[in-house]
Structure 1
Amino acid sequence: MNVPLLIARRYFLSKKKRNIISIISNISMVGVAVGTMALIIVLSVFNGLEDLVRSLYGKSDPDLVITAVKGKSFELQAPLMTRLRATPGVHLVTEIIEDNALLQYRDRQMVVKMKGVSSNYYHQSNIDSAIVDGSHELHRDNLDYALLGAGVQHELSITLDNRFAPMRLLYPKAGKFRVSMDPDAYFTQKNILAGGVFLIEQRIDDSYIFVPLEFARNLLNYGNRRTALEVKVKTGQDVGDVKQAIKQRLGAGFKVLDSDEQHVSLLKAIKIEKMFVFITFAFILLIASINIFFSLSMLVIDKKKDMAVLMAMGAGRRTIRNIFLFEGAIVAQVGAITGLVLGVGICWLQQTFHIVSMGMATSVVDSYPVKMQLSDVVLTGVAIIFITISVSIRPALNASRLDVRDNL
């Protein structure tokens, strides 16, 4: 039988309701419960935001992207494509030419990210499911068409499939030129029709247009160069294993990026924010747990005679110390379990019934995204254990140092 735990439990359950020590202990439990609940909810919201980012970019992101280590483009040679397609797990390879270009429509213009894609792009990406107006086809009726982000279309007031007023894309020519008033001396220009509008994510919608690969190659004069190759992995294959196999086949001159690495800055920012939020709420939990320190200190004063009797009966200083450590642990545990149950319950309600909305008409989701993870619960539990020991150890040591003769 664990005597310190038994006595600690007795002290916890037998407190009188009007006892000031009992009131402070109850305040401690409520503080720990509220702090734990808030921590679980906030961490779950950050998990939901992280998954939301992945799902939004997943409509246009490939499984793997291959780019050059040096420079923004590389020479695409037949042996390279042969080695890549022969890599186990590779299902599809799409050629990409991407660069900034000046987009003109009637009397308006803006700089856009032009992405030229090969004809098999729609087997690679789910962007066709993000089309909100027009068609997803980039080539039909022997004409080239572009897909526009919703923000680009709105900025330039572009009309779809307007053959009387096509869009014009301009790209600077390489080399040095004499001063001239003729823009043809400085820019390569090509016309293209707007075929469809997509809505993926604001950063993409406000800056990207998709065009056929041949159109981009001719406008940019890229010849056999490409800025990237996008790889679709076979169903059931591990993306990490395929990534390592491609790296070995292509050598050190190429970078192979998976989905998270393609948006490493954004995902890292979310993780850093989540870490700082955890630290902040851990400090709040610490402040809430200071009441445990005060209640234990008062309990030590109140139970001096009991401790002296126990020591006179043969209880060691370690036993006395453990009584108050267990007492602090019980108070914190009751509050933590209550907070965990409330936090998990609120997150479940939000996941199931979408109670709290984003409150913005332009939001891509109606309610705050929430995702619970076991690691967050474990991390919160570890933090509470550490905080409880920190605030309980001083009163427990004071109790173990009581003089028996002075308190009998």
Structure 2
Amino acid sequence: MNFPFYIAKRYLLSKKSHNAINVISAISVCGVALATIALICTLSVFNGFHDMVATLFTAFDPEIKITSVRGKVFDGNDNKILSISKLPEVETYSASLEENVMAQYKDRQIMVTLKGVEDNFEKLNSIDSILVGRGKFIVHDTLANYVVPGVEIISALNSGIRFLDPLTIYAPKRGEKINMANPASSFNSDDLYSSGLAFAVNQSKYDSSYMLTSIDFVRRLYGYNNEVSSIELKLKNPEDIDEVKDKIKSIIGPDYNVLDRYEQQADTFRIMKIEKLLSYVFLTFILMIACFNVIGSLSMLIIDKKKDVITLRNLGADDKSIIKIFLFEGSLITLVGATVGVILGVTLCIIQQEFGIISLGDSNSLGSFVVDAYPVSMHVTDVVLVFFTVLIIGIACVWYPVRYFGKRILQ
């Protein structure tokens, strides 16, 4: 066994001549362990929110979405675009057209995004899982066009899910300037009727902004022919999404974006990653402060073992070996703290994941949240990252003080 390491291990486990050193060493281990627990739990909570948001988006966003690089709309009858529907990997091919409109119900008005979809939109994703109300998902029939609004739009318009009067939609005429003398003449308008349904994604971006209706209705309202704003796909095997994306890109070329669900919500997930990174950085600074306890413990240990140092020198130990003893001592304190912290952090995350002990609010406000308790998702990479971060920072923090005090005591 390495001689400095052997002596350092004895110093860590043996009683010191002054009990205060034992106490400070225990406090040092606890400080490192608590910082490690905080890092693991915080990163796991961010992972939990990331996974939770991803599952919420899957109920509204398609597995693959194709949009134009230049302009808002493109020709949905383009041969390259139509050829995608014939790919053997594609299960559902559906076009959509989104435009901003003003919706009016009686004396209330609101600006919304009207999304026109095809009849097979229901097969594209699990829309049934987010629908509220009674009835079948339908956007048109031979008599009328129907609307499925977000639940917050219903509240803003005070219409109720099954409204009796039609919802009037106003859209500016394309290519025309606003007639200030008669502004109403610069807008097209048409009516939408209640389908008896609304959707609730539990994300304000959708629930307060989006309404679903027939794509033909939106085209007629804006004077479009075959234009679409996106092509949305469902795959037979979602696990092949990366390969299918590359295949589609090779077919349609660089004029189109081919986006998976995460890329469709790139801004949201980018913000979450930045928040996770900042939390990691701030907690690492707290870890550095906790390591000062290790420095204090080692400083007192060096003073306490001054007589032992003389004995070791008389037995033939050189100055380099003696300094290594205290470096190993600091490293062992950090290692023990990191190991205990990882074990306790993982245990706490498992308990939270299984039982949801820490809630997001009191019992009277739980209905305001998507989930009742903080979501947790542990990633092995995060646990490994935290463990080595603690070790590296702990060893780096004790290296200079040990060498400084060691040289002074060896003089």
Query: Do these two structures clear the TM 0.5 threshold for a shared fold by scoring above it?
Result: yes
Q: Which residue of 2 aligns with 1:323?
A: 325
Contact kept in structure 1, 2:178 and 2:186, CA below 8 Å: no
1:403, distance to aligned residue in structure 2 (A): 7.2
For the structure 1 residues 237 and 35, does the alpha-carbon distance in structure 2 shift closer, same or farther, using more than 3 Å as the test?
closer
Q: Which residue of 1 aligns with 2:109?
A: 109
Q: Which residue of 2 aligns with 1:372?
A: 378
For the structure 1 residues 337 and 403, does the alpha-carbon distance in structure 2 shift closer, same or farther, using more than 3 Å as the test?
closer
CA displacement 1:312-368 (0-9 Å, x = unmatched):
322233322221121112111222222222211111111111112211331111111
What's the TM-score once normalised by structure 2's chain length?
0.93
- Percent identical among aligned pairs is 37
SS of the aligned residue for 2:101 comes to: strand
Q: Which residue of 1 aligns with 2:284?
A: 282
1:375, distance to aligned residue in structure 2 (A): 1.2
SS of the aligned residue for 1:338 comes to: helix
Contact kept in structure 1, 2:43 and 2:280, CA below 8 Å: yes
Q: Which residue of 1 aligns with 2:391?
A: 385
Q: Which residue of 1 aligns with 2:360?
A: 358
CA displacement 1:13-53 (0-9 Å, x = unmatched):
11248522222111111111111111111111100111111
Rounded Cα–Cα distance in structure 2 between residues aligned with 1:39 and 1:334: 16
Q: Map of 1:181-220 to 2, 5 A cutoff?
A: 182=182, 184-195=184-195, 196-200=197-201, 201-220=203-222
Q: Map of 1:40-79 to 2, 5 A cutoff?
A: 40-79=40-79
1:169, distance to aligned residue in structure 2 (A): 0.6
SS of the aligned residue for 1:191 comes to: strand
RMSD: 2.0
1:134, distance to aligned residue in structure 2 (A): 3.1
Q: Which residue of 1 aligns with 2:149?
A: 148
Equivalent AA in structure 2 for residue 137 of structure 1: I
What's the TM-score once normalised by structure 1's chain length?
0.94
Gaps of 5+ in 1: none
Out of 248, 255, 258, the position equivalent to 2:257 is 255
For the structure 1 residues 254 and 236, does the alpha-carbon distance in structure 2 shift closer, same or farther, using more than 3 Å as the test?
closer
For the structure 1 residues 274 and 296, does the alpha-carbon distance in structure 2 shift closer, same or farther, using more than 3 Å as the test?
same
Q: Which residue of 1 aligns with 2:313?
A: 311
1:194, distance to aligned residue in structure 2 (A): 2.0
Out of 340, 348, 351, the position equivalent to 1:349 is 351
SS of the aligned residue for 2:391 comes to: helix
Contact kept in structure 2, 1:324 and 1:392, CA below 8 Å: no
For the structure 1 residues 288 and 99, does the alpha-carbon distance in structure 2 shift closer, same or farther, using more than 3 Å as the test?
same
Equivalent AA in structure 2 for residue 337 of structure 1: T
Rounded Cα–Cα distance in structure 2 between residues aligned with 1:206 and 1:241: 35
Q: Which residue of 2 aligns with 1:225?
A: 227
Contact kept in structure 1, 2:151 and 2:199, CA below 8 Å: yes
Gaps of 5+ in 2: none
For the structure 1 residues 237 and 342, does the alpha-carbon distance in structure 2 shift closer, same or farther, using more than 3 Å as the test?
closer
User: Is the counterpart of residue 158 in structure 1 residue 164 in structure 2?
Assistant: no
SS of the aligned residue for 1:401 comes to: helix
Rounded Cα–Cα distance in structure 2 between residues aligned with 1:305 and 1:381: 35
1:178, distance to aligned residue in structure 2 (A): 7.8
Rounded Cα–Cα distance in structure 2 between residues aligned with 1:403 and 1:71: 73
CA displacement 1:370-391 (0-9 Å, x = unmatched):
1111111111111111111112
Q: Which residue of 2 aligns with 1:167?
A: 167
CA displacement 1:39-79 (0-9 Å, x = unmatched):
11111110011111101111001111111101111112251
Out of 334, 337, 343, the position equivalent to 2:336 is 334
For the structure 1 residues 54 and 178, does the alpha-carbon distance in structure 2 shift closer, same or farther, using more than 3 Å as the test?
closer
Out of 388, 391, 402, the position equivalent to 1:396 is 402
Equivalent AA in structure 2 for residue 362 of structure 1: S
SS of the aligned residue for 1:314 comes to: coil
Contact kept in structure 1, 2:117 and 2:214, CA below 8 Å: yes
CA displacement 1:133-169 (0-9 Å, x = unmatched):
1332223564321101000001101144445x10011
Equivalent AA in structure 2 for residue 118 of structure 1: E
1:203, distance to aligned residue in structure 2 (A): 1.8
Rounded Cα–Cα distance in structure 2 between residues aligned with 1:140 and 1:160: 19
Rounded Cα–Cα distance in structure 2 between residues aligned with 1:121 and 1:169: 21
Rounded Cα–Cα distance in structure 2 between residues aligned with 1:315 and 1:238: 63
